[in-house]
Structure 1
Amino acid sequence: MAIVGSALVLSLALSGCSMLADIIGDDSDPQRNADNQVTEDARIDIFSLSVSDCIPAFDSAGDITQIDVVPCADPHSDEVFFEFELTTDHLPAEEEMLTEIEAQCVPAFAEFVGTDYFESALALRWITPTEDTWTQANDRLVQCMIYEPDPKDTTGMTALDVTGSFKGSAR
Structure 2
Amino acid sequence: MLSDKPQTILGRVALGGLAAGAALALSACAPIADILGGGSIEVPDVDLETPAEGGEGPTDTDVFQLNIGDCFIKEDLNTAFMSGDVSEVPILDCAESHDSEIFYTYDIAGDTYPGEEAVSADVSETCAGQAFTDFIGVEYANSEFLIDAFTPTEDGWNTIGDREVICYVKTGELVTGTLEGANR
- Give the match for residue 20 of structure 1: 26
Query: CA separation in 2, counterparts of 1:42 and 1:59?
Result: 12
1:127-153 alpha-carbon deviations (Å, 9 max, x no partner): 00112211121110000000112xxxx
Which residue is equivalent to 1:69? 91
Q: Give the letter aligned to residue 146 of structure 1.
A: V
2:160 maps to 137
Query: What's the offset of the Cα at 1:13?
Result: 5.2
Greater helix share, 1 or 2? 2
Q: How does 1:20-169 map to 2 (within 5 A)?
A: 20=26, 41-57=58-74, 58-60=76-78, 64-106=86-128, 107-149=130-172, 160-169=173-182
Q: Structure 1 residue 59: deviation in Å?
A: 4.3
In the aligned structure 2, how far is the partner of 1:111 from the partner of 1:143? 15
The offset of 1:8, in angstroms, is 3.3
Q: Which runs of 5+ in 2 are unaligned?
A: 11-22, 28-54
Aligned length: 138
Q: Which runs of 4+ in 1 moved over 3 A?
A: 11-17
The amino acid across from 1:165 in the alignment is T
- The equivalent of 1:8 in structure 2 is 3
Structure 1 gaps of 5+ residues are 22-38, 150-159
**Contact 1:86–1:141 (8 Å) recurs in 2:** yes
Cα distance between partner residues in 1 of 2:98 and 2:25: 26
* Segment drifting more, 54-63 vs 87-96: 54-63
TM-score, normalised to structure 1, is 0.70
**What is the CA distance between 1:99 and its match in structure 2?**
2.3
Letter in 1 for 2:72: I
1:46-69: CA deviations, max 9, x gaps? 111121111123243567321111
Select between 77-86 and 43-52 the one with higher mean Cα deviation.
43-52
TM-score (norm 2): 0.65
